[in-house]
């Protein structure tokens, strides 16, 4: 099959006018001007004409479980209060509600151009009821061991179903100890051993809030008091930053995907220079919580690529990565449209160890494509970022998808 468009955005940021892609099975086997490809065979041609064809976007931090929480929790003065509110909200939802939420999340992602998502999955009890997603989902099993909501047995059964089901689904699985304030150092060590043994990816929330940093640096504050009352062992607090605490425990590797990193001490940058983890920034969630400025420039200067995520709709309005960029670039004016576009595409793929496979249009990449209308002759990366409509063409894994009506 050949897909053609007036503009094709290749993986390296090159713009290919009157371009075409030959897809065989689920893979792009050729990308060249249409005139060079079309004469070679009688293959089916889908000519999108007046369109910009881009690799599908990669959302590197999301929680589809909370898709129906949109607008329910207004911004709180305290991160700890927000945690209490979302914990209360979770109890009001049934397994059926969560399955529907996840399904709505798939559609919201596809309708905004995302074809791959790193989804933190906190509800293993719903795994037996899920059907195959129409896009690539990396299910990162969330783990908490202070006052865990589920018994070990339920969590294990859910994880068993997940492992079985995802063998046939697009995407993969990973492990997500929630954060050092809810997952013990012992749990982090188990995760590291398990990830080493199975080659699974790991993602964790880190240095997200001022209250988390205060808890680890000084052994005090609202989050400290809240968790101490819940019975958390607090002897790991008061010794240094949360990043240094994790780094010194020896569990973290350069493959780990760290969401947020909003509150860093000066010595943390040296740790990042040595450890070189993968970092995900969630711009609108960042503003929702009123965090201090994310240190994008310093991380980039160190050669650390930053991927983009939406986080959940408990602290955001949509799963649209274009909206994340439109919001973020008010704060980082140095970045060009193509750099932002790479953050929406290849940086997320790199975080998932899918570089060259996802988030790019090139020979050998998987055929995950989205098309948007051309509006004038200005920068085509800018046009993608500024587009507000759903893509009028979506391909995932070599198959054309029809988006569901609302």
Shortest distance (Å) from residue 63 CB to Zn ion: 6
Q: What is the CA radius of gyration of the chain?
A: 21
CB nearer to Zn ion: pick between 222 and 281: 281
Q: Which is nearer to Zn ion, 182 or 383 (CB)?
A: 182
| Burial class, 334, CB count within 10 angstroms (exposed 0-12 / middle 13-18 / buried 19+) | exposed
**Residue 236 near Zn ion by CB under 5 A:** no
Q: How far apart are the C-alpha atoms of 105 and 101, rounded to whole Å?
A: 6
Burial of 161 (0-12, 13-18, 19+ CB in 10 A): middle
| Nearest in space to 83 (alpha carbons), one of 204, 208, 198 | 208
Options 111-119, 210-218, 286-294, 309-317: segment touching Zn ion (CB under 5 A): 309-317
Binding of residue 324 to Zn ion (CB under 5 A): no
Q: Which is nearer to Zn ion, 311 or 324 (CB)?
A: 311
Q: How far apart are CB 54 and Zn ion at their closest, in Å? A: 26
Q: What are phi and psi of 120, to 5 degrees?
A: -80, 120
CA distances, 251 to each of 189, 246, 273, 304 (Å): 6, 7, 16, 19
Q: Compare residues 66 and 341 and give the one whose CB is closer to Zn ion.
A: 66
**One residue of 311, 320, 324, 368 binding Zn ion per CB under 5 A:** 311
Minimum CB separation of residue 280 from Zn ion in Å reads 9
Between CA 2 and CA 23 the distance in angstroms is: 6
- DSSP secondary structure string, 291-353? PPPP-HHHHHHTT--EEE----TTS-S---HHHHHHHHTTT-TT--HHHHHHHHTHHHHHHTT
Q: Which is nearer to Zn ion, 108 or 311 (CB)?
A: 311
The mark string for 13-32 relative to Zn ion (x by CB under 5 A, - otherwise) is --------------------
**248, two tokens:** 């010194």
- Is residue 16 within 8 A of residue 31, CB to CB? The reply is yes
Beta-sheet pairing, 201-206 with 257-260: parallel
Q: How far is the CB of 298 from Zn ion (least distance, A)?
A: 22
Give CA separation, 33 vs 15, 243, 346, in Å: 11, 48, 22
Question: Which span (90-98, 311-319, 365-373, 396-404) binds Zn ion, by CB under 5 A?
Answer: 311-319
Q: Least distance to Zn ion from the beta carbon of 5, Å?
A: 34
Among residues 295 and 311, whose Cβ is nearest to Zn ion?
311
Beta carbon nearer to Zn ion, 311 or 368:
311
Taking the complex as a whole, how short is the minimal distance between the CB of residue 377 and Zn ion, in angstroms?
39
If one asks whether residue 211 binds Zn ion (CB under 5 A), the answer comes out as: no
Stretch that binds Zn ion, among 5-13, 85-93, 100-108, 308-316 (CB under 5 A): 308-316
- Give 65 or 311: the residue with its C-beta nearer to Zn ion: 311
Window contacting Zn ion (CB under 5 A); options: 9-17, 34-42, 142-150, 310-318: 310-318
Q: Which of 290, 298, 378, 288 is nearest to 332 (CA)?
A: 298
How many residues line the site for Zn ion (CB under 5 A)? 1
The reply to whether 65 sits near Zn ion by the rule CB under 5 A is no
Return d(Cα 156, Cα 154) in angstroms, integer.
5
In the complex, the smallest distance separating the C-beta of residue 238 from Zn ion, rounded to whole angstroms, is: 25
CA–CA gap between residue 264 and residue 208 (Å, rounded): 10
Our CB check for Zn ion shows the closer of 54 and 315 to be 315
Q: Please state, as a whole number, how many other Cβ atoms lie within 10 Å of the Cβ of residue 315.
A: 23
- Min dist. Cβ of residue 178 to Zn ion (A): 9
Kind of pairing between the strands at 27-33 and 15-24: antiparallel
Q: What is the DSSP string of 253-265?
A: -TT-EEEE--S--
Q: Pick the piece of the chain touching Zn ion (CB under 5 A) from 27-35, 42-50, 189-197, 303-311.
A: 303-311
Quick one: which segment of 31-39, 97-105, 305-313, 397-405 binds Zn ion (CB under 5 A)? 305-313
Nearer to Zn ion, 20 or 109 (CB): 109
Examine residue 212 and tell whether it contacts Zn ion (CB under 5 A).
no
Name the segment binding Zn ion (CB under 5 A); options: 79-87, 97-105, 173-181, 304-312: 304-312
Residue nearest to Zn ion (CB): 311
Residues in contact with Zn ion by CB under 5 A are: 311
């Amino acid at each position: 099959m050949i897909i053609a468009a007036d503009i094709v955005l290749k993986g390296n940021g090159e713009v290919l006018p009157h371009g075409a892609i030959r897809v065989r099975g689920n893979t792009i086997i050729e990308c060249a001007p249409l005139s060079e490809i079309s004469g070679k065979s009688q293959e089916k041609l889908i000519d999108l004409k007046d369109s910009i064809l881009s690799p599908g976007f990669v959302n590197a931090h999301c929680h589809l479980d909370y898709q129906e929480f949109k607008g329910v929790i207004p911004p709180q003065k305290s991160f700890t209060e927000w945690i209490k509110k979302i914990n209360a909200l979770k109890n009001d939802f049934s397994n059926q509600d969560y399955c529907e939420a996840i399904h709505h999340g798939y559609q919201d992602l596809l309708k905004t151009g995302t074809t791959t998502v790193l989804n933190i999955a906190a509800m293993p009890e719903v795994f037996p009821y899920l059907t195959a997603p129409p896009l690539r989902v990396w299910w990162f099993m969330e783990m908490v061991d202070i006052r865990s909501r589920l018994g070990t047995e339920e969590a294990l059964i859910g994880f068993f179903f997940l492992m079985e089901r995802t063998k046939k689904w697009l995407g993969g699985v990973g492990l997500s100890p929630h954060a050092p304030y809810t997952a013990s150092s012992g749990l982090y060590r188990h995760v590291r051993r398990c990830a080493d043994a199975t080659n699974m990816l790991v993602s964790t929330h880190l240095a997200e809030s001022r209250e988390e940093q205060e808890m680890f640096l000084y052994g005090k504050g609202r989050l400290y008091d809240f968790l101490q009352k819940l019975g958390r062992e607090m002897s790991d607090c008061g010794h240094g930053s949360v990043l240094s605490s994790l780094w010194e425990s020896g569990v973290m590797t350069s493959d780990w995907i760290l969401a947020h990193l909003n509150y860093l001490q000066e010595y943390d940058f040296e740790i990042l220079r040595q450890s070189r983890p993968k970092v995900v920034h969630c711009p609108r969630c960042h503003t929702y919580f009123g965090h201090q400025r994310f240190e994008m420039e310093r991380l980039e200067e160190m050669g650390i690529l930053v991927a983009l995520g939406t986080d959940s709709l408990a602290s955001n309005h949509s799963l649209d990565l274009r909206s994340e960029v439109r919001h973020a670039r008010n704060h980082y004016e140095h970045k060009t449209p193509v750099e932002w576009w790479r953050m929406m595409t290849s940086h997320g793929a790199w975080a998932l160890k899918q570089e060259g496979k996802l988030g790019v249009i090139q020979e050998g990449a998987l055929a995950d494509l989205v098309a948007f209308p051309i509006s004038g002759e200005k920068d085509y990366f800018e046009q993608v970022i500024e587009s507000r409509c759903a893509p009028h063409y979506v391909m995932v894994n070599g198959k054309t998808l029809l988006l569901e009506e609302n």
